[in-house]
Chains A and B, each alone.
Chain A
Amino acid sequence: AQKITQTQPGMFVQEKEAVTLDCTYDTSDPSYGLFWYKQPSSGEMIFLIYQGSYDQQNATEGRYSLNFQKARKSANLVISASQLGDSAMYFCAMREGRQGGSEKLVFGKGMKLTVNP
């Protein structure tokens, strides 16, 4: 079963507007972490923001914030004041907290954000 779902294959937003990128996840582990990465056309994978399952507050990092709704199993990324340089693929990923086991990331299929001038 797919653990991370990103249903929006692509989105367009005007420069300086805010945009929300959707991510839902599925896990039975009470301890997990959710990540968002940005992948520009150059290919590198850039860490944006992290949310732990036990975190009481939604994570924020500059223009990025994570709208974490645990009961709905969603972890949407909000980018405020979009910039042209935000045009990229965005991946949501989850790490399950298995004791003594792997900390590997499981990624969603990604979504392509295009910021228009």
Chain B
Amino acid sequence: AAGVIQSPRHLIKEKRETATLKCYPIPRHDTVYWYQQGPGQDPQFLISFYEKMQSDKGSIPDRFSAQQFSDYHSELNMSSLELGDSALYFCASSREGRRETQYFGPGTRLLVL
């Protein structure tokens, strides 16, 4: 079965640089979520999109922005990177509905030096 695809899998950036993370949801999934997991921590919700519209926003810094495109893939843009942005970034997708499970991608491991 097809899974959520994230690219790149690993990314190393310098402080103040920008990064773009991409997410390709499972086919026919119309909702995408972004989570950030710091070292030794639980995942924290950043932002979500349903049918290409932002549906909810969590603790996402103003330096970050995201969107969902017409083919349902999503991109998380991160600017002015800080050391504290080093984390594992997950994208998850689901079909709309309360009983629907969120399936996670393999994550993008971002290291800011």
Contacts and interface: CB of A to CB of B under 8 A. Distances in A.
B106 A33 contact: no
Contacts of B104: 37, 44-47
B106 A43 contact: yes
A105 B102 contact: yes
A107 B107 contact: no
B28 interface: no
Chain B interface bracket (under 10, 10 to 19, 20 to 34, 35 or more): 20 to 34
Interface string A36-52: 01000001111100101
Chain A interface bracket (under 10, 10 to 19, 20 to 34, 35 or more): 20 to 34
B99 A104 contact: no
B88 A33 contact: no
A62 interface: no
A103 B29 CA distance: 14
Contact of B103 (A31, A47, A107, A109): A47
Interface of A: 31, 33, 35, 37, 43-47, 50, 52, 91, 95, 97, 101-110
